Amino acid sequence: MIKCCKKINIDKSSAGKILFFLLLAILFSISGYAQKPYVIGPEDVLEIRFWQDNSLDATVRVTQDGKIALDIVGEINAAGLTTSALEREIIRQMSRYNSAISQTVVRVSEYNSQKIFVSGQIQAPGKYTFEVIPDLWTIINEAGGVGELGDLGRVLIIRGGENAGEVEIVNVSALVTTGRLNELPPIYSGDTIEIPRSPAGLPAATLSQSQTLRNLFYVIGEVNLPGAINLEKNIDILDAIALAGGPTPDANLKKAKIITKAGIGTQIKRINLRRYTDEAISGRVFIRPEDVIILPRRSGGLLGLRVTEWVAVIGGISTFILMADAVGLLQLGED
């Protein structure tokens, strides 16, 4: 004969406590799935504290190759680890030299590895860092909002990282005014957000709907008037660069690029403009709607200054300055 299990009597008070702790455990589990722990990356600044020996406390910056240096133990790989994983690794290595050290706390004080760049017609262009990179509209507002001459109908996202050089053109204005913020493309570390100048250089608020919806193309990089330009018939790449004020003295004419939308992706065509003009190429390269022309900078041009330094020299062209550091499209070698 099989004996039945004992009946366990649980009073209402105990049952309530059990239910409370079960619900609490579920909530912690859900929140854990909702937000993954931050992963440390290059250039992050970490504060490391040792409760048993404050003399070992340190504030360190993660190097480009992902390491930090601490007294006693030397270099430790930090990039790719969460703060809790790095804590365990530090204690593991520290215990070899001092078994009394059994606890440490790692805190990220600067999230420099999660960086994006905002440039063009924006109130506060520059580099922005985040613990969690927000959506495109939030970033634009974080940078002070669009400038008076900015065109939110043709915002460029120039991808960095593994997809460096890919360009997306987004009608932010339409998505925001119709409440479709969930359709904004995600922004990733290393991306550049470029707010172009509105057509004809007029304030966006004064443009008619037909004007803002005209065919546009974009010329950025080493030209005198970078930004959006109305597309007329039969404009080739030389016409386009002329409409953008012509090349600067530091333009690398051998390594021009045209980025063209192709279905859901993009195509990049590289053109040696010196050959294009010198050899009178019969097959002209015509510009299409939403093309992006990039005229890079010769490395070593303008007395060898980095692209982020010569903004103070030319004082007035903010477009594409920060994109160069993120994507490396401007410094492509000597002629």
Helix H or strand E segment including 13: helix 12-34
pLDDT of residue 12: 55
pLDDT of residue 279: 61
Residues 122, 198 contacting (CB under 8 angstroms): no
| Calculated CA dihedral for residues 70, 72, 73, 75, nearest 10 degrees | 40
d(C-alpha 155, C-alpha 139), whole Å: 12
Nearest by Cα to 116 from 188, 164, 171, 48: 188
d(C-alpha 96, C-alpha 239), whole Å: 68
Question: Is the pLDDT higher at 9 or at 275?
Answer: 275
Residues 255, 272 contacting (CB under 8 angstroms): yes
> Alpha carbon of 135 to those of 60, 152, 231: distances in Å?
29, 15, 30
pLDDT of residue 312: 29
What is the mean predicted confidence (pLDDT) over 150-175?
Answer: 86
Question: Is the pLDDT higher at 213 or at 15?
Answer: 15
Residues 118, 143 contacting (CB under 8 angstroms): yes
Whether residue 83 has pLDDT greater than 50: yes
CB 269: neighbour CB atoms within 10 A?
A: 13
What is the mean predicted confidence (pLDDT) over 82-97?
Answer: 93
Q: What is the mean pLDDT of the chain?
A: 77
pLDDT of residue 311: 34
What is the mean predicted confidence (pLDDT) over 8-30?
Answer: 53
For residue range 256-309, list pLDDT tens digits in order.
999 887 665 668 889 998 888 666 555 788 898 888 899 988 864 333 333 333
Whether residue 239 has pLDDT greater than 70: yes
d(C-alpha 311, C-alpha 322), whole Å: 10
Whether pTM exceeds 0.95: no
pLDDT of residue 142: 92
For residue range 118-142, list pLDDT tens digits in order.
998 899 999 999 988 999 999 999 9
Residue 161 backbone class (left: φ over 0; alpha: ψ -120 to 50; beta: rest): left
d(C-alpha 270, C-alpha 288), whole Å: 15
Q: Write down the CATH superfamily of domain 45-110.
A: wza like domain (3.30.1950.10)
Contacts of 174 (CB under 8 A, 6+ apart): 153, 180
pLDDT of residue 167: 83
Residues 74, 94 contacting (CB under 8 angstroms): no
**Band of residue 226 on the pLDDT scale cut at 50, 70, 90:** confident
Amino acid making up residue 208: S
Whether residue 87 has pLDDT greater than 70: yes
* 36's tokens: 């993954």
Whether residue 22 has pLDDT greater than 80: no
CATH 3.10.560.10 holds for 115-327: yes
* 192's tokens: 């550049």
Nearest by Cα to 145 from 172, 110, 121: 121
**Band of residue 61 on the pLDDT scale cut at 50, 70, 90:** very high
What φ, ψ does residue 163 adopt, rounded to 5°? -105, 30
Q: Domain ranges for the chain, please list them.
A: 45-110, 115-327
